[in-house]
Structure 1
Amino acid sequence: MKIEILFEDNYIIVVNKPNKILIHNSYYARNIKEATLLDLLKEEFQENYYPIHRLDRKTSGVLVLAKQKKYVAVFQKLFNSNSIQKKYLGIVRGFIETPCTIKSPVKHPDTKLYKDAETLCEPILNKQLDIAVHPYQTSRYSLVRLKPATGRMHQLRIHMNKISHPIVGDYKYGDRFHNRMFENELNCDNLFLHAHSIHFEHPLTKEKLDLYADLPLNWLKIFEKFSWQFEF
């Protein structure tokens, strides 16, 4: 699998991570044996890279990696100080008509402690299908833009479930009936959460970076079936 490179300099490499690919091996994904993103990059470029932030295995999109371990902390300071703006796209259950801000604590899986978390959700498009999904005779979906103000694990997935608009394809926090419909009727079984863009000032070169990751093919297939047209 060839990994798309969005940006590269002497310090970092920014890639468009495919969905269903782990960034690296971890305790939480110890049963998954497929090659990780770091494995694929090593195979392609014969280099080791060091993730600066994280994306879930089933989330696709923009990911920043350092070329040397010593640069990780330099870039992580941007995340810790909210100097990096990340924007995601999601397809969720139901119609969302107006922007909303979700402020709800998220529990850390290790410490079990709750930490404050905040997400801005902006509706873009919606679609009603004449396909019955329990308990209704039709099914409704929205394309949304999500802007996390904090970076908790699974934050966006938990927050969308919190407002009863879970992300399609989320088997942990989502709606199994809608997930099953996407599988059986639309032939799509992945999580519809995509890290679409990232914006920050490079801490070493001072270059202002605005980087965008194209949507995966399965997203384009849904856009075609939903007759959605939108310039990102």
Structure 2
Amino acid sequence: MEVKKLYESGDYLIVNKPYDMYINSDDENEKNTVTYHIASPDSHLSTSFQPLHFVQRLDYATSGVLCIAKNKSAAGRAGKLFEKRLTKKYYLAVVRGHVELDLADIEYDVGMDPSTADSSHRMVAVTPSSEACVLPRAAHTRLLLLETGYYGSDAVSVVLLKPITGRRHQLRVHCSALRHTILGDYTYSGAADVAPHRMFLHATRFYWQLYYVSDDVHPEPVPLCPAPRAPPFPPSFHIKTPEPFFSDQKFASQWKSEQVVCKYKSEAEFMAACDVIDRSYVIGVRYKLFSCRE
């Protein structure tokens, strides 16, 4: 699969990662990695001639926007953006079942599954009915219902997910905790969801805003396009990938819409949906908070 470069500057590279691809690998013979397609296979190692620094990570099965720093200094600046929560990430997902609310805040802590604690393979959300987990950490996801329909004969919903925190497998675990496991998620369906050709989770939009470190303004990446060069210090920066599911014939041939709750197919509609999920509250919607701290 092609790893498409979306933006590039002297400090950063932003790509659209395909689904079912590793970010990197210590196996020099592994070619199914982002680093193999855009740089040298060992570029994720500090010993590389031109090392890359992944300031965010996407699971093997997750596709979408991936931001990479080209040097330690740039990685440190991006790290402070994430630390100060000056970045926003928006994911499109198809989940099992019809979601019966419009907007939700999911504040279940996330920790390691005790049965896989040695490998850190599975994570667990701490819910009122869950069992113990290892090293739970606070986690927060916002969910906005976009559309309900059917995948074949199975009820599914299209949702917009916005992680406020960045825990391992957070979106997958939180959806599973609501009993709306992401379509095609082998791990959190108990190895049962094997019919779909992929897991339907895609990092659709990435946003960051200007910040200051030691009185120095941090410049944003410059778009690779024929348009005039962007201002060196724009107030904010965002990038969005094309919609990945309904343009996939394997999914589209199985999909039947039931109800569109919030339009999202065009870029303008998707940006409007992002504005809705960014608000602290929305009047006139079915809202619920999921938390063990109530």
Question: What TM-score, normalized by structure 2, do the two folds share?
Answer: 0.65
> Are residue 210 (structure 1) and residue 225 (structure 2) matched?
no
User: Identity of counterpart residues, as a percentage?
Assistant: 28
Q: Structure 1 174/129 Cα, relative in aligned 2: closer, same or farther at 3 Å?
A: same
Mean CA deviation greater in 197-206 or 166-175: 197-206
Mapping of residues 130-145 of structure 1, within 5 Å: 131=153, 139-145=154-160
Q: Deviations over 1:113-144 (max 9, x none)?
A: 1001011110101113563xxxxxxx200000
The letter of the residue matching 1:230 is K
Q: Hey, what does 1:157 align to over in structure 2?
A: 172
Mean CA deviation greater in 56-65 or 111-120: 111-120
The letter of the residue matching 2:12 is I
Larger Rg belongs to: 2
Aligned match for 2:182, one of 167, 187, 197: 167
Q: Hey, what does 2:198 align to over in structure 1?
A: 190
> Are residue 200 (structure 1) and residue 204 (structure 2) matched?
no
> Are residue 105 (structure 1) and residue 92 (structure 2) matched?
no
Task: Give the gaps of 5 or more residues in structure 1.
Answer: 132-138
Q: Could you tell me how far 1:3 is from its partner in structure 2?
A: 1.7
Q: Deviations over 1:136-184 (max 9, x none)?
A: xxx200000000110000000000000000001111112655x24xx2x
Q: Hey, what does 2:286 align to over in structure 1?
A: none
3-state SS, counterpart of residue 113 of structure 1: strand
Question: What TM-score, normalized by structure 1, do the two folds share?
Answer: 0.81
CA RMSD of aligned residues (A): 2.8
Mapping of residues 52-131 of structure 1, within 5 Å: 52-97=55-100, 98-108=102-112, 112-128=134-150, 131=153
Q: Hey, what does 2:32 align to over in structure 1?
A: 35
Number of aligned residue pairs: give it: 214
Q: Hey, what does 1:134 align to over in structure 2?
A: none
Misfit runs of 4+, over 4 Å: 108-111
CA contact (8 A) 1:42 1:48 kept: no
Task: Give the gaps of 5 or more residues in structure 2.
Answer: 42-48, 121-132, 212-217, 220-232, 258-263, 271-294
